[in-house]
Each structure stands twice: as structure tokens, then as C-alpha cells.
Amino acid sequence: MVWLNAIVQGVLLGGLYALLAAGLSLMFGVMRIVNLAHGALAILAAYVGLVVVEATGVSPFLAMAVVVPIMAGVGYALQWGIFNRALAQGGLAPLLAAFGLSVVITQLLQAKFTADSRSLPTGDLATASIQINGDLSIGVLPLITFVVGVLAILGLQAFISKAPLGRAMRAASDDPDTVKLMGIDNRQVYALSTAIAIGMVGVAGMFLGIRGNFDPYYGQAMLIFAFEAVIIGGLGSLWGTLIGGMVLGVAQSLGSQFNPSYGILIGHLVFLAILAFRPTGLLPKAVTT
């Protein structure tokens, strides 16, 4: 029963990792940008949330209604201001730009908020849980995080397969030059993709801040988990990212059950094992070009 509990907690944790990784997966899928600033942007969202909560006194959940549009706007501006220019340079430029961006965000956060740990207050909710039976209880907050993560990925997947903009995103991913011949400005499609990706990481960042303490450097660790979720699931597949997040969450949770200090290590080992034995991930994208 202890192990079942660990698995359930791990799956729930996986929802958060998937939420964190979805934007990373989207930006890589559409533009082949490896956004090293993803973790820093998640933490930026948590700090923006903190400012909103402290200024207005609303709950962090309500604050998301402000934080997510702000982050989406940040994503849109970053794409036009930095990434579209970097993509035009080609090669390593987008990767280096993202790396630089992550350093700048982290340092700005430290200058403004110091390196002290902060958290987003949620009152009773932080400790509330649903008792299933004697050994198994599910925290309300991890459950909400998980549901939001799954819904966000379902929604994004539906958007990409059905909506005209989603179709344009897939077409731009296939062939950015030919997309221009369809009357579509690929740079604008990229900017909207990044707005969606960073809006989603805004949600993830808020949940990170609600779940526990964060400081300006916390994004680095989260970036690794997000990358692992994407790679475990298979590059460019959103379903894979969801599965990858859960695999990573369960591995960490079972590892902690084994020995509390081994959780993160076991997560990394599972990731390395998948890289070694199934490098395309669990659900590789059906079509590769």
C-alpha cells in the first residue's frame, strides 16, 4: 500500500512536470528552439504571481487570471524581440539567446526579490487531502495541479489538431518557407506559439509557487525535470510529454520511498535508461521530416 501511495503521488507530481514541459515541447516542435529560459520563465511567473497576490490579497488561483495573460504577452514579445531574430541567424543562435535570457531573468529576480525563498499562500488548501482509505490519501493541491496539467495538454493537443492556427503551427514546423506561400507570416505563427507556451509555463510556475518554496535559482532544477519529461515522452509529442512527466514523477516518488534522498537521483537514472535503450522516447512523433 505504501508503494501504491508512492505511485499515486508520483503520477500527480507528473501532472506538474507535464504542465512545465508542455511549453518546452511546443516551442521545440514548432520552431526547433530549445528554450533554456523555460525554468527561469516559470519562476518569473511565480514572482509575478507573488506581486499580484501581495498587492491585491487575492488567492494565487485567482491571480493566474492576471499572471497567465502577462506571461503570454512576455512570450509574444520575446519571440519578436529575441527569438525571431535569433532564428534568422540560424545555428546555435536561438539556444544561446535562450541561455542568455535565462541568466538575465534569474539575475533580475535576485536583484529585485533577493535570494530568499518565497511561496504563494493558499491557506488551508496546502494541507487539505482526500482520505481514500487507511494508507492512501490524495492531496487536494496535487490533484488540482494534475487535473489542470492534463486538461492543459488535452486542450493544447485539440487546439493544434483542429484550430486553423494550430494547423498553421504544424505547417510552419514542417516547412517555414512554404508557409509564407500560403499567406501566413511564419514569424507571427512563432510569436503566437511562444505566447501559448509561455502562458502555459506561467500556469506551471504558479503551481510551483503554490506547492512549495521558490527562489530565483529554482528554475534551473525545474528546467532539467521539464527536459527529462519531454525526452522520456518523445520529442515533439504532447501525449508523450504527459506520459514522460508521469514516468519521471513516479520514478522520483518511488525512489524517495526507497530512500528519501534518492528520489531525484532515481528520476535521472530512469531518464538516462530511456535515453540509452529507447532514445526516441516512449511516444515518438509519428511523422518525422
Partner 1 sequence: MTFLSVTGLDVHYGDFQAIYSLDLTIAEGETLAVIGANGAGKSTLLKAIAGLVPVTAGDIEFDGASIAHIAPHKRVAHGIALTPEGRKIFPSLTVEENLLVGGHTKRPGPWNLASVYAAFPLVADRKDRLGTNLSGGEQQAAAIGRALMSNPRLLLLDEVSLGLAPVVVEQIYAALPTITGHGTTVLVVEQDVKQSMKVADRVQCLLEGRTVLEGDPADLSREQIATAYFGI
For partner 1, the binding residues (CB under 8 A) are 164, 167-168, 170-171, 173-175, 177-186, 285-287, 289
Please report, to the nearest 10 degrees, the dihedral formed by the alpha carbons of residues 50, 55, 57, 63 taken in order.
-50
Nearer to partner 1, 186 or 252 (CB): 186
Among 194, 213, 204, 278, residue whose Cα is nearest residue 245: 204
Nearer to partner 1, 56 or 178 (CB): 178
Residues 6+ apart with CB under 8 A from 225: 17, 20, 21, 248, 267
Tell me the torsion sign for CA atoms 244, 82, 97, 66: negative
Min dist. Cβ of residue 162 to partner 1 (A): 10
What SS3 class is residue 187? helix
Percentages (nearest 5) of helix, strand, coil residues in the chain:
75, 5, 20
Min dist. Cβ of residue 87 to partner 1 (A): 16
Nearer to partner 1, 124 or 177 (CB): 177
Nearer to partner 1, 1 or 181 (CB): 181
Q: How far apart are CA 118 and CA 209, in angstroms?
A: 8
Min dist. Cβ of residue 38 to partner 1 (A): 24
Min dist. Cβ of residue 24 to partner 1 (A): 20
Min dist. Cβ of residue 273 to partner 1 (A): 29
Min dist. Cβ of residue 90 to partner 1 (A): 15
CB of 264 closer than 8 Å to CB of 255: yes
What's the chain's length in residues? 289
Nearer to partner 1, 135 or 185 (CB): 185
Nearer to partner 1, 233 or 249 (CB): 233
Min dist. Cβ of residue 187 to partner 1 (A): 9
Q: What are the DSSP calls for 223-268, one per residue?
A: HHHHHHHHHHH-TT-HHHHHHHHHHHHHHHHHHHHH-TTTHHHHHH
Nearer to partner 1, 188 or 220 (CB): 188
